[in-house]
Amino acid sequence: MSSVESAINCTSCGRKPNPSETVFQHCSACKTAYYCSTDCQRRDWKGSHKQQCKVNLLTKEAQAIAAQHTGDTVTGIRLACTKEPGGFWEVEVPSKHSIFDNALLEVPALLGIPLVIHRVGTQSNNRVDLDCPIATWLNIKYADGFAPMEWQSHVGTCLVARKDKKPLSQEHMDAVHMYISRLLDMFGDGAKYAQKGITRTAFEKWFEGYKREQVGNGHANWEKVGSVFDA
């Protein structure tokens, strides 16, 4: 940790700095969490900050890479809601689109994949038409496997892209949502069990098997698909 002037409450206990204190300390990795003591830092690390720190660091890394992007568009994915047939497919997203200002999706980020999502604003008198299961899955939380209420139904069609503005292929989108579907099954056996699978190592191991399966099933487009981490 390093010291910084603190007008910020302790992230762990919420304590405000008293008049005799001129500094609180922050997490030396992500520099977004502040602590009044080592005990508070340890407590928060064991609680939720270990995961949040990974997301924060990946966010900074993605922003730095995105800053080097010079093209007018970025290859992303359109996720169709029930009203719009087609599942999902590649689209070109303007490089200055507001999607790139959005926060990373937590579980994909913990897998090491910097995805962001944006609702396009689909309208329908039949709200069931607006369900978008893949968008819901992408929004699940590490803690319990549930998406926030606003992402559980009536979501509408969405765009998904990489915050680092690297291309997101249809095959990689397929792999990510299929892996999260697997995680949802694991959450049925308990959060701690599922959380063991929310790592880059676990995803990479599964991905190699999934790729072989797709090729074996005659999907020739998968033969040259590389790692999502080498995009």
Q: Which residues of 63-90 are buried (b: 16+ CB within 10 A; e: fewer)?
A: eeebeeeeeeebbbbbbbbbbbeeebee
**Gap between the Cα atoms of 223 and 108, Å rounded:** 23
pTM above 0.75, yes or no: yes
- Give bridge partners of residue 92 from the DSSP assignment: 75
- Give bridge partners of residue 94 from the DSSP assignment: 73
Closest C-alpha among 150, 152, 148 to residue 133: 152
- The one-digit pLDDT tens for each residue of the chain (231 residues) are 343 444 688 887 888 888 777 667 777 767 777 888 878 887 777 666 778 889 999 999 999 999 999 999 999 999 999 888 889 999 999 999 999 999 999 999 999 999 999 999 877 767 788 999 999 999 999 999 999 999 998 899 999 999 999 999 999 999 999 999 999 999 999 999 999 999 999 999 999 999 999 999 999 999 999 999 998
Alpha carbon 137 to its chain's center: 11
Residue ranges covered by each domain of the chain: 2-63, 71-226
> Are 198 and 135 in contact, with CB atoms under 8 Å apart?
no
